[in-house]
Chains A and B, each alone.
Chain A
Amino acid sequence: MTRKTIVIAVREYQAAIRTKTFIVSLILMPVFMGGSIGVQVLLRDKVDTADKRIALVDCTGRLAGAILADAERRNDIGIFQGEGAERKQTQPRFVFESVAPPAETSPDALKALTLELSDRVRKRELFAFAIIPADTISHAASSTAASSPAPPAAIAYHSNSPTYDDVRRWLTSVLTKHTHEARLSDANVDTKLVMNALSPLIVDNLGLVSREVTGEIKAAEKTSELATLFIAFGLLMLMFMVVMISAQPLLQSVLEEKMQRIAEVLIACASPFELMMGKLLGTAGVSLTIVCVYLLGGLFAMERLGVAGLFPKHLIGWFILYQCLAVLMFGSMFSAVGAAVNDLKEAQNLVTPLMLVVIVPLFIWVNVAKEPNVSFSVIASFFPFATPMLMIVRMAVPPGVPAWQPAVGALGVLATTVACVFAAGRVFRIGILMQGKAPKLRELIGWMLRG
C-alpha cells in the first residue's frame, strides 16, 4: 500500500466522520431500526384501562355464572402489576352483564336481541356481546363421528372493534374450560381426574451435553429460539446498517469529486487505483468506527438488561473481518457507479440493481437462521455478495458451522472484493473525467473488461 493511499484514506475518514450527516445517521439508524420495538416496549403499559362492558347471553343457562365469577377474579387480581405502593392497573376490567336469552326460542327473537345489543354497542353502552348457543354443552355428545372429535361449537362474539382481541381470547379460554367441565360432569366423569390427565406438557429447548476438560459431563443449557434469532438478526442488521452508512456515501463522495472537478487534480497526484483504494480504506475505517460504537453500545445495553451472556463475543473477530470485506466490496461498486454517472438522478438507475444485491440476505435470513446447515443455507452463504451477512447469521445460531466454512467464505469474498476493486478502478479511471451522457450498462462492462 502506498503512502498516497494512506493520505487519501485519512482525508476520506476525517471528511466522513466530521459531517453532521454521519453523526445523525449514527444515531438515527438504530433509532429507526429499533424504534418500533422500543416504542412498543415503552407503550406496553400505556394501554387504555377503562372498563370494557360485555353483555353475555347464555342460552345454556349453566355457564354465565362461572364466567362472571372468573371475570370478577380477573378484575381483582389479574390486571395489576407490581406490589404494594407500586401496584398498578395495566389492563382494563372486563365487566360482564348477564342478559337473559329470549323467552321464545325462535330465530327471529334471537335476531331481535342481537340487533338490540348491537345498537347498544353502537351507542357505546357496551364494548361487545357474546351469545352462547343452547346446545354448546350437549354439542360434543350429539356428534356422531366416532374417530374424530366434534367440531368446536360456534359462540357468537360481536364487537365494533375487530382489532381488539383481548376480550375474545379471554372469553374463549374461560368458556372452553367451563364447557369442558360441564360436559364431563354431564357424562358422570371425574372432572378433576380428566383435567389432571389432560394437563399440558412443557418441552424444554436445550442445547447439547458436553464433557468438561476435567472429564465431568456438563449439563445442557436451556436455549431460547427467540434470543438466538435476536442475536443473529442483530448482527445481520448491524452489518447492513454499517454498509448503508459507510459504503453508500462513497457514491456521493466520488460524484462530488467528479461534479466539482476535484478528480482531475487528484488523479494527477495519485493513480486511480491509489485514489480508489484510499477512499475504500477510509470508508472501511468509518465502518469500524460505527461497529465499535454499536457493539460497545450493545454490550453496555445488554449488561444493563442482565443478558450480557447472550453477547456473541466469539463472533466479533469474524464479524469485523466480514464487515470490512463487505464495505470494501460494496464500496468499490458504489464508487464505480459514482464515477460513471454525472448526477444523482443518473446514479439511481444503476444503484437500484446494486441495492437489490445488498438487501437479498435480508429476505432469506430467517430461513437460513432456522436451518443453518441445510443445503440451501450453505449454498446461499457461499454466494460472495451474501456471504458476509448470511455466514454471520449461520455462525450465530447453534451449533454453528464447520470451521472451514467461514474461512472459505471469507476467501471467496476477498477474491470477489479484489475483482470488484479492480473492475471499479477501471470504471473509475475512465468515468471520472467523462462528461455528458451516462454510459449504458454494456459500455460499463466494456470499461471493466478492456480498461
Chain B
Amino acid sequence: MNAVELERISKTFKSVKAVDDLSLSVPEGSIYGFIGPNGSGKTTTLRMIMRIYYPDAGSGAIRILGNDHSAAANDRIGYLPEERGLYRKMKVRDLLKFFLELHGHRRNLSEPIRSWLARLRLSDWADKKVEALSKGMSQRIQFIAAVVHSPRLLILDEPFSGLDPVSTEDLREAILELRRNGATVLFSTHDMHMAEKMCDYVLMIYQGRKVLDGTLESIQARYGADTLRVAVEGNGQSLASLPGVERVADFGRLAELKMRDGTDPQRVLEALIARGRVTHFELTRPTLHDIFVRIARPKE
C-alpha cells in the first residue's frame, strides 16, 4: 500500500502555478526524498498533503494512508515544517504534552515524552522553558513534537537545515529508527548527499513539475555511466577543452567530467595523458548532486 498518493495535483497562487499536474506515490515503510531548487513547489506540495493548502479546484485526488484526504488522517502524521517555532514561554514537558493531546492522545502521556527526551539527550531540559534552550536544542524539541505521538507517516520539510553535525546525526538515526518501527518518511532536502544515503526513493520537482521519480539506482541508470572522475597533475582548467567533454566540475583534488553522448572514455584518457600525469581515472554514474545541477542549472 502507498502511504501517500497524489494524482495530478495542481496549485496556483494568483497567476503563479506553484505545483503543476504532480503525481507521486510514496510506498508504505519507505524513506522518500523530495528534492528540488528553492521555489520549485516542494513546500507547497507538503502543505497540500497536510491539508494546510487545498489543491486547485478540479485537480486530482490526494490519498493518505489508504484513506481519502481528511482531517482525521493528520493525527497519524507527524509534520515538521521548514519554518518552525515553539511557544517560548512553555516548559518543554508541557509543550510536548500539548502536542500529544492535540494528536488525540489522552493517557500515558509521560512515557513517550520521557523516552524521546532521553533519546535526543534532552532529559535535563524537560522542566525548562523553551526560551532557555539553544537553537540546536529547540530544533531537536521541534522534531520530538513532530514524532512524539508515534506517527505512521512522517513529513519533514528540510529537517537538517541549520543543524550542527551532531544534531544532524541524532536526527538521522531517529528517522531511521522510526522507519524500522514501520513509519513512512517523506522529507524534502537540499542535501543531496543525505538524500543519496537515506532515501529509498527520490522525487525531484522543478518549476512545479516532476522531473525525476524512482529509486536512486533507476534514476542514475537513466543517465548511464557518462561521468569521468579524474585527477591530473597540472592545470585543471585545461580539462575543459578535452575532446568529447561537455562540462567540467572542478573540486580541486578531483574533477568530474560530463561526457557527450557517444564519447569513448579511452579517447578522453589518451588526451588526458597527453596533457600531464593522470593519478586518478574512474568511469562512474552521475551523483544525485550532479543530476540536480544538470536539471536546475540555468541554460547557458
Q: Which residues of A contact B (CB under 8 A)?
A: 3-4, 7-8, 11, 15, 19, 260-262, 264-271, 433
Contacts and interface: CB of A to CB of B under 8 A. Distances in A.
Interface stretch (B99-107, B165-173, B192-200, B291-299): B99-107
Nearest to B46: A268
A8 to B, nearest CB: 7
Given A7-B101, A261-B81, A268 B50 contact: yes
B47 to A, nearest CB: 8
B94 to A, nearest CB: 8
Contacts of A265: 79-81, 84-85, 99, 142, 145-146
Interface string B193-236: 00000000000000000000000000000000000000000000
A269 B99 contact: yes
Contacts of A267: 52
The 5 closest A-B pairs by CB, nearest first: A261-B85, A260-B85, A268-B79, A264-B81, A261-B83
Contacts of A11: 98
A433 B102 contact: no
Contacts of A19: 89
Output the residue of A8, A266, A267, A271 with the most chain B CB within 10 A. A267
Interface string B71-99: 10011010111011111111000000011
A100 B124 CA distance: 92
Contact of B74 (A15, A261, A264, A268): A268
A369 B103 CA distance: 50
A32 B103 CA distance: 43
A3 B77 CA distance: 18
Interface string B95-136: 000110111100000000000000000000000000000000
A433 B71 CA distance: 18
A267 B77 CA distance: 13
A266 B84 CA distance: 10
A4 B103 CA distance: 8
A19 B129 CA distance: 13
A260 B104 contact: no
9 contacts: A7-B102, A261-B81, A264-B81, A265-B81, A265-B85, A265-B145, A268-B50, A433-B47, A433-B52
A262 B85 contact: yes
A159 B73 CA distance: 83
A270 B75 CA distance: 9
Given A264-B84, A269-B99, A269-B102, 10 more contacts: A3-B104, A8-B102, A19-B89, A260-B87, A262-B87, A265-B81, A268-B74, A268-B81, A269-B103, A270-B102
Interface string B41-64: 000000100111000000000000
Output the residue of B47, B77, B87, B142 with the most chain A CB within 10 A. B87
Given A267-B52, A268-B50, A4 B102 contact: yes
Given A8-B102, A268-B79, A261 B89 contact: no
* A interface secondary structure, majority: helix
A4 B146 CA distance: 16
A211 to B, nearest CB: 58
Interface residues of B, number: 28
Contacts of A261: 81, 83-85
Nearest to B81: A264
Nearest to B78: A268
Given A265-B79, A268-B52, A433-B52, A15 B102 contact: no
Contacts of A3: 104
A266 B85 CA distance: 10
A1 B145 CA distance: 24
Nearest to B79: A268
Output the residue of B81, B102, B146 with the most chain A CB within 10 A. B102
A4 B99 CA distance: 10
Nearest to A272: B52
Contacts of B83: 261, 264
B86 A262 contact: yes
Contacts of A270: 102
A4 B104 CA distance: 7
Contacts of A4: 102, 104
B159 to A, nearest CB: 13
Contacts of B86: 260, 262
B89 to A, nearest CB: 7
A8 B50 CA distance: 19
A62 to B, nearest CB: 79
A260 B71 CA distance: 24
Given A3-B104, A269-B74, A260 B81 contact: no
A154 to B, nearest CB: 69
B89 A15 contact: yes
A4 to B, nearest CB: 6
Nearest to B89: A15
Contacts of B104: 3-4
A91 B81 CA distance: 72
B3 to A, nearest CB: 16
Contacts of B142: 265
Contacts of B103: 269
